[in-house]
Every structure is written in structure tokens, then in C-alpha cells.
Amino acid sequence: MSNSKPYVIGVAGGSGSGKTFFLNCFLNHFSADEVCLVSQDDYYIKVGEMTAEENRLHNFDLPTCIEVNQFQNDVNDLMDFKTVYKQEYTFNNPTAIPKLLEIKPAPILIIEGLFIYHYQHIDQLFDYRIFMDAAVEIALERRLSRDLLERGYSEEDVLYKWDNHVMPSYNEYLLPHRFRCDKIINNSTNELRNILDITDDISKELRGKLGI
């Protein structure tokens, strides 16, 4: 494989589509020096302390909520095989202690997030685009499970954000890019075998294509 630049894979999908689970399975097929991952989620603009009501009303599901310039700069560094240091984003959880992330460059660079195909500078870098798809009711069920347990939101708050922020943003900023993707993965079931088989197939295809 040529070392002129990394092979860049995009993984996008709406909330509850199973991006994190897919990525965990996919990364297991490679060693740490073969692949690196940068997540758009770590580039949210910090909004400071908010009341529960302010948090409910604040729309985090907009492209303008991301530190786009820093995101692009860090991706550029990884493209140039430079190590990136980034403090993880803790989703305004005051009890969480953010870790300093060390993202080392590798021959395969995975960029994941909701808006990665929306940002023109990022979008033009991709060699392979993946779109994670899930039935709306399944995605909402997963979102509820995550936000109730991990982020301490009430069910009312989750449903408010889903109807007023999550779905409108998905329809405007992500869904239009679906048809351009090289691989559309339907993840509407919770069958572990399905994702394991899909990641196995993609990883074999990539190893053959890249000679690694």
C-alpha cells in the first residue's frame, strides 16, 4: 500500500443507528497501527453549565454545534501522518472527567459522525462511505436506552429532542447523502451475527484492496 496518504473511510448514521457498535466490531479486525478513528462527537462546542430546561431546549443536532475548523485541522494532521491530541467531549456531564485522547495516524483513517458528509472539506477526503441505517422505532428505542441510562435524561426530554432536534437534523443534513454511499448497512435488528458478518466482509475487502 502507498504511504502517500491514508485510505479514508466515513461512517455516518443517525442517532440509534448503531455506529458505535459497528465501529467496535470493525476495529477488532485491525491492529492499532493499521487503523485510527476520529469522532465528530469529540468536537462539540462546549456550552458550559446549563439548567435541565436549557439542556432540553438546546439543539445539539446542528452542524454549527461542531468546532468544524478544529475538526478539519485534526483530520488534516492525521492525513499527514501526524499524531493528534484531543480532549474527549463529555456531553455536559459535570461528573465525567474528560480523557486526553491520543489519536495516532495509520494507513486506514476512519472518520465517524452525523455531519461528516455535510462538511465539504471533510467529505471530499473519503475513499469509501458507509451509511448506517435503522428503522425509526428501533433507533428511538436505542436512543432512549442510552440517554436514560448514560446521560441521565428523562424520557420526556429524550422524546422532545427526538421530535424537534434529532429527526429534523437527520432528514436535512444526513439522509440526502445516503444515496452517495458505497455501503448502506441496515441495522434494524439487534442480531450480533449480522454486524459481525458485515464487518468481516468489509475488512477482507479492504485488506485485499490495500494489500495489508
Does the pLDDT of residue 98 top 70, yes or no? yes
pLDDT in tens, 127-184: 999 999 999 999 999 999 887 776 667 888 889 999 999 999 999 999 999 999 999 9
Does the pLDDT of residue 188 top 90, yes or no? no
Q: Which residue has the higher pLDDT, 88 or 69?
A: 69
**10 Å Cβ neighbour count for 74?**
19
- The CA-based angle 149-188-144, given to 5 degrees, is 20
- How confident is the model at residue 3, as a pLDDT? 60
Of the candidates 112, 110, 100, the residue with the CA atom closest to the CA atom of residue 35: 110
Looking at this protein, which amino acid is placed at residue 23?
Answer: L
Three cell numbers written together for 51:
439548567
> The whole model's pTM is what?
0.89
Give buried/exposed letters for 8-38 (b at 16+ CB in 10 A, else e): bbbbbbbbbbbbbbbbebbbebbeeebbbbb
Helices (H), the chain: 19-27, 52-57, 68-79, 120-123, 136-149, 155-161, 167-169, 192-210
CATH superfamily of 7-207: P-loop containing nucleotide triphosphate hydrolases (3.40.50.300)
pLDDT above 70 covers a percentage of the chain that reads 91
- How confident is the model at residue 160, as a pLDDT? 92
Ranges of each domain in the chain: 7-207
Of the candidates 80, 164, 162, 177, the residue with the CA atom closest to the CA atom of residue 119: 177
Does the pLDDT of residue 93 top 80, yes or no? no
Considering the chain, what is the average pLDDT of its residues? 89
Q: Which residue has the higher pLDDT, 191 or 186?
A: 186
- How confident is the model at residue 48, as a pLDDT? 66
Strand partners, 9: 110, 128
Distance CA 99, CA 121 (A): 27
